[in-house]
Chains A and B, each alone.
Chain A
Amino acid sequence: MFGYLLKRLIQMTLVLWIVSVIVFLMMSFTGDPVFMVVPIDATDAEIAQARRILGLDQSLLVQYGRFITSLVQGDFGNSYVFRQPAMTLILERLPATVEMVLVAMALALAVAIPLGVYAGANPNSRISRTIMAGSLLGISLPGFWVGMVLIFLFAVHWGIFPSSGRGDTAELFGLRISLLTADGWHHIILPAVTLSLATMAILLRMTRAGMMEVGRQDFMKFARAKGATRRDVLYKHGLKNALIPVITIFGLQLGDLIAFATITETIFSWPGMGKLLIDSIYRADRPVIVVYLMLVALIFVVINFLVDIVYTLIDPRITLK
């Protein structure tokens, strides 16, 4: 286990370093950040002054060197646009995103697993066919469209939910959490549903496929023969064995949604961090982009690590080496 952890740690450092290099190189093609800061009729002297203040007067290599040196000392650099520490900008928006994604993922699981098991166990029933057709819709409808339709129906037309924003929050361990207030839940439902649909559909289809695969195995027949109820057979014997690929996808989707919930956040003007990434790309705000993508890489590595551990819990035959 210790060796495994160490290996993972080294891998992670390598991934983070590569991300930082790629982003730094990439950003030299996306335009000069100084022109996003100065007025368009700025004189050369004014531009030079802005460049100096932002630390952009050095070569890319020197800038990268400075970035890495201060990174090692725990300083992630300041945003060119906001002139605030890039890490602070991201972290103060992180809770809102994580919260929305967790609700969305919980929703996706709660719907996808039972329906997937049902559709896998009864592949030919009419209900199963309806479920599968619905899941196709979930995969193919673009999120921004679903979001707009939900806003139009539930906010503008029926007035059941608010159209946008985060609502009231309560503080917990210094973090602002909206899941602790009724108003917060009122606001989070529509964006979470929008965000969950695609994942829900994928998980449902994975579960169904796994269940159909497992259903043909001999141990399922034995379980039934030894007198286990149909429900126990499906959930204890069947689902547990069908779950490995589902969990893999779940982990990947979780990371993906946290990192790139941008579209849903923009549509519902949810104050999360995905919007920060897009804005920063538009404004060529390199420090924020670099730190953001490194954080995303970190999140993916951690989630994959956790998924590996969950494997061993579900299937004792798997060990971590």
Chain B
Amino acid sequence: MKYLSETALRASALGLALMATTAGAALAEKSVTIGLTADPSHLYPLAGEELSSNIMYYHLYDPLVKRSADLSFGPGLAESWENVDDTTWRFKLREGVKFHNGNDFTAEDVVYTIEKTRESIRPDLVANVASITAVDDHTVEIKTPKPYAVLPNDLAELLILDSEYTEATGDEKMDLEPMGTGPYKLESWIKEEKLTLSANDDYWAGEPKIDTVTFRPITNPATRTAALLTGEVDVIQDLAVRDVDRVKREEGFEVVTRPSLLNVVLAMDTREKSPTIEGDNPMTDRRVREAIARAIDTDAINKIVMNGLATPSDQYVPESHIGYADGMSFREMYPVDIEKAKELMAEAGYPDGFTMTLDATNNRYVNDAQIAQALASMLAKINIDLQLNIMPKSNFWGYIRVPTENSSFIMSGWDVPAGDAGSMYGALFYTRDKKEGYGQVNRGSYSNPELDALVDKADATPSIEERDQYLQEASKLLLNDIPMIPVHYEQDIYAKRDGVTLEPRVDKFIWAYDIDVAE
């Protein structure tokens, strides 16, 4: 804290001095204030991840590979990369990049970051890196355990640390005194009040357009709206659904929406016996799974529960992803049809339905508890008596955890910011306990050798095209076999005052480097 206020003082003294010298020909300082839903927990990328922290990380640090707003991947701290052989990648690093403290960015920092990550709370970030070596000061060679075509996509989440500074500062202090190569430096951070960033004028991709960015945590949605309308903030994240019309009516403000990556899905247990179902588990029969899919009216959920601010999902991953099966839609394959659903139930031997429990959260997804209630009334139409077991997220993740000893039917969300269906299919649908790192979130105990083989093939090719082919086949197979019902993508809703340009990112990470304000 002391450090922060001291730097703030020193910086403002510097600012005054600058103002004195450039007085007369004063440049207009651009600034923007952004209202977030929560204060970041961390400024040290290896300490943990949640949305507010992620937003800060990408201002302060840079990854080797940059993920752009629309989920395409391009050069970041690495200028270019190539495959030396099936499992070896060579990354050419950008020269002349400096950390905020003036240290040069070199291959040593990349090696250090990867090794440090392995020991941290986030070893998953480097799960596909077997080893790394510095070839020279600005070249590194990364070996993957097996051919892995989307390594660059994974590396977009790995933020590079200054080896010397990080080692000297220590984990606890890194959270308060971050040091990266990113477009912004930390000016001051007053917990729960505001976090101020100032432009890194030497940024390798060009000086940021906005000089000062202030983030304010405003948890209460109505207060966030009020702060926008009173002009205290210029942009807000997560505009409350009920305030959308109000802000639209107001002169000088604009609502910006875009479908998020978060797919709300329903996992069905496919074991012979299921924890909350008496007798044999009907959902082992594909016809029952199809009947459930046909009974769920996602349009009605969107209209009634979500106020039209959701996008019914047509597959398990969005269209932008590797592995999206072209031209297939879950909604067209299984349109809402109660009569057909009842027939299917009768054919499968359950004309009178059965009873089971849905596990869902009440504070994780938009209107999650209400969605659960809507599902119960929809499934009642095909005689499935759906009991609701709704709990806060702090209990939920442990409760539904594989080996899923308590659950038959689970509502949760899944997003893949890496832009690739492979990691999702491997984690959610691969047979459990067959291979380390696969099937660890397979909550429905789905097991299909064909799918396992496709995921294996996708994970064994160094070619992105081939990977896409295998994963598309996997998508087709899954859409036909219905181990899980995709419901909808939530919509990200922002509001801003006129004069601020904001293109929301698919991954939700607001990035001030892309924002501009009118003079």
Tell me, rounded to whole Å, the shortest Cβ–Cβ distance linking B271 to chain A.
20
Q: What number of residue pairs across chains A and B have CB atoms under 8 A from each other?
A: 136
Cα(A39)–Cα(B218), bound, Å: 25
Nearest opposing residue in chain B for A53, CB measure? B121
Q: CA separation between A71 and B379, bound complex, in Å?
A: 53
- Tell which of B120, B232, B397, B423 touches A163, judged by Cβ atoms closer than 8 Å: B232
For residue A53, which residues in chain B have a CB less than 8 angstroms away from its CB? 120-121
A240 at the interface (CB under 8 A from B): no
Chain A contact residue count (CB 8 A cutoff): 56
A275: chain B residues at CB < 8 Å are 192, 219
How far is B38's CA from A275's CA once the two chains are assembled, in angstroms?
11
The answer, yes or no, to whether B222 is at the interface (CB within 8 Å) is yes
Q: Does A248 contact B (CB under 8 A)?
A: no
Most buried by A among B121, B194, B427, B441: B121
Minimum CB–CB distance for A174 against chain B, Å: 8
In the assembled complex, A31 has its CB within 8 A of some CB on chain B: yes
Complex Cα gap A38–B397 (Å): 10
**A298 lies within 8 A of chain B by Cβ:** no
Expressed in whole angstroms, the Cα–Cα distance for A99 and B24 within the complex equals 42
* Size class of the contact patch on chain B: 35 or more
Q: CB distance B192 to A93 under 8 Å? A: yes
List B contacts of A166 (CB < 8 A).
Answer: 193
For chain B, residues 263 to 322, give those with C-beta under 8 angstroms from any C-beta of chain A. none
Q: Are A269 and B230 in contact (CB under 8 A)?
A: no
What are the interface flags for A165-179 relative to B under an 8 Å C-beta threshold, 1 for contact and 0 otherwise? Answer: 110000100101000
Give Cα A313 to B217, complex, Å. Answer: 45
A159 and B230 contacting across the interface, CB-CB below 8 Å: yes
- Which of A50, A164, A284 is B223 in contact with, Cβ under 8 Å? A164
| Contact mask for chain B residues 185-216; partner A; CB cutoff 8 A; 1 contact, 0 none | 00000111110000000000000000000001
4 more contacts with CB within 8 A, not counting A269-B220, A282-B363, are A31-B398, A32-B397, A41-B440, A53-B121
Contact between A162 and B232, CB atoms less than 8 A apart: yes
Q: Is A219 an interface residue when CB atoms closer than 8 A count as contact? A: no
Contact between B394 and A42 (Cβ–Cβ < 8 Å)? no
- Tell me the bound Cα distance from A152 to B230 in angstroms: 10
Q: Which of the candidate stretches A7-15, A77-85, A302-310 sits at the interface with the other chain?
A: A77-85
- Are B48's CB and A35's CB within 8 A? no
Contact B229 A46 (CB under 8 A): no
Residues of B in contact with A (beta carbons under 8 Å apart): 1-2, 5, 38, 41-42, 47-49, 120-124, 127, 171-172, 175-176, 190-194, 216-220, 222-223, 226-227, 229-230, 232, 363, 392-399, 401, 412, 423, 427, 436-437, 440-441
- A-B CB proximity, top 7 nearest: A271-B192, A35-B397, A31-B394, A271-B193, A31-B395, A163-B226, A32-B398
A152, A156, A165, A276 interface centre (most CB from chain B within 10 Å): A165
Q: Tell me whether B193 and A267 are in contact (CB under 8 A).
A: no
Distance in angstroms between the alpha carbons of A151 and B227 in the assembled complex: 9
* Inter-chain contact A267/B223, CB cutoff 8 Å: yes
Q: Is A271 in contact with B191, judged by CB distance below 8 angstroms?
A: yes
Q: Which residues of B contact A272 (CB under 8 A)?
A: 192
A269 and B49 contacting across the interface, CB-CB below 8 Å: no
Q: How far is the CB of B247 from chain A (nearest CB, A)?
A: 11
Given contacts A31-B395, A81-B41, A269-B220, contact A165 B440 (CB under 8 A): no
Indicate whether A83 sits within 8 Å of B223 (C-beta atoms), given known contacts A41-B427, A92-B1, A282-B393.
Answer: no
Min Cβ gap A79→B in Å is: 9
Which residues on B sit within 8 Å (CB–CB) of A49? 121, 123
* Distance between Cα atoms of A289 and B41 in the complex (Å): 16
Q: Are A41 and B441 in touch, CB under 8 angstroms? A: yes
Decide if A24 is an interface residue (CB 8 Å cutoff): no
Instruction: Verify if A301 is at the interface (C-beta below 8 Å from B).
Output: no
Asked if A156 contacts B230 (CB within 8 A), the reply is yes
Contact A266 B220 (CB under 8 A): yes
B444 to chain A, nearest CB (A): 15
Q: Are A165 and B395 in contact (CB under 8 A)?
A: no
Residue interface mask A60-91, B partner, CB < 8 A = 1: 00000000000000000010011110000100
Q: Which of B122, B172, B399, B441 contacts A83 (CB 8 A)?
A: B172
Are B223 and A151 interface neighbours, CB within 8 A? yes
A84 and B175 within 8 A (CB): yes
A30 close to chain B: CB less than 8 A:
yes
**Would you give 25 A-B contacts (Cβ < 8 Å), ordered by A?**
A31-B395, A31-B396, A31-B399, A36-B394, A36-B397, A41-B440, A44-B440, A49-B121, A50-B121, A148-B222, A152-B226, A155-B230, A156-B226, A156-B229, A162-B232, A164-B232, A165-B232, A266-B220, A267-B222, A269-B223, A271-B193, A281-B394, A282-B392, A283-B394, A284-B394
> In the complex, what residues of B have CB within 8 A of residue A297's CB?
none
Residues of A whose CB lies within 8 Å of any CB of B are 30-33, 35-46, 49-50, 53-54, 78, 81-84, 89, 92-93, 96, 148, 151-152, 155-156, 159, 162-166, 171, 174, 176, 266-269, 271-272, 275-276, 279, 281-284
Partner among A148, A163, A165, A267 whose Cβ is within 8 Å of the Cβ of B194: A165
Q: With the chains together, A163 CA to B216 CA distance in Å?
A: 13
Task: Contact check, A165 vs B5: say whether CB atoms are below 8 A apart.
Answer: no
Check A271–B190 contact: CB distance below 8 A: yes
Residue from B127, B190, B216, B394 within 8 A of A30 (CB atoms): B394
Query: In the bound complex, do residue A81 and residue B193 qualify as a contact, i.e. CB atoms below 8 Å apart?
Result: no
Assembly CA distance A41 to B426 (angstroms): 10
Q: Point out the residues of chain B lying under 8 angstroms from A271, CB to CB.
A: 190-193
Contacting residues, chain A, for B399 (C-beta < 8 A): 31
Quote the shortest CB–CB distance from B411 to chain A (angstroms): 13
Question: Which A residues are CB-close (under 8 A) to B122?
Answer: 39
Closest chain-B Cβ to A269's Cβ sits at a distance in Å of: 4
Provided the pairs A44-B440, A82-B41 are in contact, do residues A39 and B175 lie with their beta carbons within 8 angstroms? no
Enumerate chain B residues within 8 angstroms of A267, measured Cβ to Cβ: 220, 222-223
Query: In the complex, are the beta carbons of B232 and A43 less than 8 A apart?
Result: no
Q: In the assembly, what is the distance between CA of A283 and CA of B484, in Å?
A: 28
Known contacts A36-B394, A42-B124, A267-B223: A164-B218 contact under CB 8 Å: yes
Provide the residues of chain A in CB contact with B47, threshold 8 Å.
83
Given the interface pairs A37-B121, A81-B41, the reply to whether A30 lies near B395 with Cβ below 8 Å is: yes
Interface contact B42-A83, CB-CB below 8 Å:
yes
Interchain CB contact under 8 A, B219 and A269: yes
- Shortest Cβ distance from residue B336 to the other chain A in the assembled complex, whole angstroms: 29
Instruction: Tell whether, in the assembled complex, residue B191 and residue A93 are in contact, meaning their CB atoms are under 8 Å apart.
Output: yes
Does B124 lie within 8 Å of A46, measured CB to CB?
Answer: yes
In the docked arrangement, what's the CA distance between A62 and B429, Å? 38
Complex Cα–Cα for A30 and B392 (A): 9
